[in-house]
């Protein structure tokens, strides 16, 4: 079957990041491509920030079809692109790039992926404040999703005051001071007791920091008993944060479905095919021993 053997006609897709060796994207994308019988291969390339421009030139030279972007390049890639969709402009981060006649174009499929598991839950989102840990590119997609979901108040927490101010100022005026607020990490004890949803967008808990967690047991004890804890990290599964949440009877959502759904949307964009989402998800569950 096409897609299982690399030949001289095989088209290339990729994911870039720093680090990227932990990425499960090649597993799920190559499984989907094989199932579709498409002559593509999906690879992972570790790219340092100072080499982004060189990498894009090299990708163009080898006629690479498209690529995903992971930490820490989702914002840094934007000035290097010729076209950016309105959604990605609003989010301020790009995670999916493809070739056009004008050059490289980018969008953001993380918002769709983030919302997928939440939309299936019967929760009064319009009554549930959210706390978001971190203020990087992933946090921007999360905030855009929470605004779309209807959360009445979104509290973004970070450790760098200047970056927090920049984060707040970068959103449209109708959100600032109304639904969207930024806070230093020290404010968490006052924010957690009212949070209906807690989202971790930081890399704490991801390899090589698998034994770390952004919040400890005492922090999680401050959450309401009906709160949901959503960790965007998908490996290890569960993270220390989600294990602590489960021990306390809190709802827990890992980043696996977000990874699958954002990847499926990217693959649709690159191939214009009907993507086998279940195969992508099952491939990752098998790999992680979750089947």
Q: Tell me which residues are annotated as active site.
A: 74
Is the distance from CB of 154 to CB of 147 less than 8 angstroms? yes
8 Cβ contact list (under 8 Å, min separation 6): none
Is the distance from CB of 75 to CB of 223 less than 8 angstroms? no
DSSP the chain: -TTSS--TT-EEEEEEESS-TT--HHHHHHHHHHHHT-SEEEEEEE--GGGHHHHHHHHHHTT--EEEE-TT-TTTTGGG-SEE-HHHHHHT---EEEEETTEEEEE--HHHHHHHHHHTS---GGG--EEEE--SHHHHHHHHHHHHHT-S-EEEEES-HHHHHHHHHTS-TTTBTTTEEEEEGGGHHHHGGG-SEEEE-SSTTSTT-TT--SS-HHHHTTS-TT-EEEE---SSSS-HHHHHHHHTT-EEE-SHHHHHHHHHHHHHHHH-S---HHHHHHHHHHHTT--
**Which tokens sit at 22?**
């932990």
84 Cβ contact list (under 8 Å, min separation 6): 78, 94, 105, 106, 107
Between CA 81 and CA 162 the distance in angstroms is 26
């Amino acid at each position: 079957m096409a897609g299982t053997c690399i030949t001289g006609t095989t088209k290339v897709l990729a994911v870039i990041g720093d680090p990227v060796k932990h990425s499960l994207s090649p597993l799920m994308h190559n499984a989907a491509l094989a199932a579709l019988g498409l002559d593509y291969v999906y690879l992972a390339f570790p790219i340092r920030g100072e080499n982004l421009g060189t990498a894009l030139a090299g990708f163009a030279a080898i006629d690479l079809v498209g690529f995903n972007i992971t930490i820490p390049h989702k914002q840094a890639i934007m000035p290097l692109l010729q076209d950016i969709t309105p959604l990605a402009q609003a989010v301020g981060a790009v995670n999916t790039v493809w070739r056009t006649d004008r050059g490289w174009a980018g969008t953001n499929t993380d918002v769709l992926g983030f919302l997928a598991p939440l939309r299936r839950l019967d929760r009064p989102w319009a009554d549930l404040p959210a706390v978001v840990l971190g203020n990087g590119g992933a946090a921007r997609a999360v905030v855009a999703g929470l605004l779309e979901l209807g959360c009445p108040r979104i509290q973004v927490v970070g450790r760098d005051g200047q970056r927090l101010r920049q984060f707040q100022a970068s959103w449209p005026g109708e959100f600032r001071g109304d639904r969207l607020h930024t806070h230093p990490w020290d404010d968490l004890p006052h924010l957690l007791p009212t949070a209906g949803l807690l989202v971790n967008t930081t890399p704490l808990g991801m390899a090589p920091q698998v034994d770390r967690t952004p919040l400890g047991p005492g922090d999680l004890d401050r959450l309401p008993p009906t709160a949901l804890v959503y960790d965007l990290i998908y490996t290890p599964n569960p993270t220390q944060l989600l294990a602590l949440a489960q021990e306390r009877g809190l709802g827990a959502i890992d980043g696996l479905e977000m990874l699958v759904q954002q990847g499926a949307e990217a693959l649709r964009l690159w191939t214009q095919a009907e993507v086998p989402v279940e195969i992508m998800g099952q491939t990752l569950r098998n790999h992680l021993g979750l089947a």
